[in-house]
Amino acid sequence: DAGVTQSPTHLIKTRGQQVTLRCSPKSGHDTVSWYQQALGQGPQFIFQYYEEEERQRGNFPDRFSGHQFPNYSSELNVNALLLGDSALYLCASSPQDTILYNEQFFGPGTRLTVL
Amino acid sequence: GQNIDQPTEMTATEGAIVQINCTYQTSGFNGLFWYQQHAGEAPTFLSYNVLDGLEEKGRFSSFLSRSKGYSYLLLKELQMKDSASYLCAVTTDSWGKLQFGAGTQVVVTP
């Protein structure tokens, strides 16, 4: 089992550009959540996908959007990049029926640098 | 607002015990998680508490008091590999959204 995988590992963009990050959940997991982790901070919840729908959203602007595919993999899109979007973007997966009391598995993250 | 507070950094000696405190003020509570995160790596799950009391798992134990909005993670017989950031996270809704504290950097010295 490969666990949660994310691509790319690192990415450098300039202000105003757009970026797409990808996540493949752990086998058997149908729920994917995205988090942003700034340096020295804890992860901040961006949104969660289940059954190809955005089910819940954190305090992030509409520039942040996502998608979930029928195979449960997910994408995070960020438009009009700002310097402040530089962070580690983490994807976490879980089976929906155990998400409340069981661990969510995190991927290694994508390190995004905006210049 | 939602507040989850933990100390920024703690230093301890190899073989010793360290206790990392976490206090939370949230609207609602469904459970509290502790994660370990080594620099540049993914957070990995350590423990989960939903009822008051102590949960023990090997060298790691976690305690919860819901009435006080307080938890701690106890790391015993510290090893150099335990040097990492320890994240306290609370869930308050039925979707499993994790609300994290800023993390406590534990430095283990020889």
Of the pLDDT bands very low, low, confident and very high (cuts 50, 70, 90), residue B1 is: low
Most B CBs within 10 A among A23, A49, A101, A110, hence the mutation to make, goes to A101
Of the pLDDT bands very low, low, confident and very high (cuts 50, 70, 90), residue B80 is: very high
pLDDT tens readout for residues A48-84:
999 999 999 999 999 999 999 999 999 999 999 999 9
Mean pLDDT, rounded, for A34-44: 95
φ, ψ for residue A18 (rounded to 5)?
-120, 150
Mean pLDDT, rounded, for A41-48: 96
- The mean pLDDT value of chain B amounts to 95
Higher pLDDT, B94 or B91: B91
Partner residues linked to B21 by β-bridges: B72
Of the pLDDT bands very low, low, confident and very high (cuts 50, 70, 90), residue B95 is: confident
Percent of chain A at pLDDT > 70 equals: 99
* Distance of residue B17 Cα from the nearest chain A Cα, in angstroms: 24
Mean pLDDT, rounded, for A27-42: 95
Sheet holding B3-5, edge to edge: B3-5, B18-25, B70-75, B60-65, B53-57
pLDDT tens readout for residues B19-56:
999 999 998 899 999 999 999 899 999 999 999 999 99
- The mean pLDDT value of chain A amounts to 94
Give SS3 for A106: strand
* Beta strand pairing call for A105-106 and A87-94: antiparallel
| Pairwise CB contact (< 8 Å): A40 & B30 | no
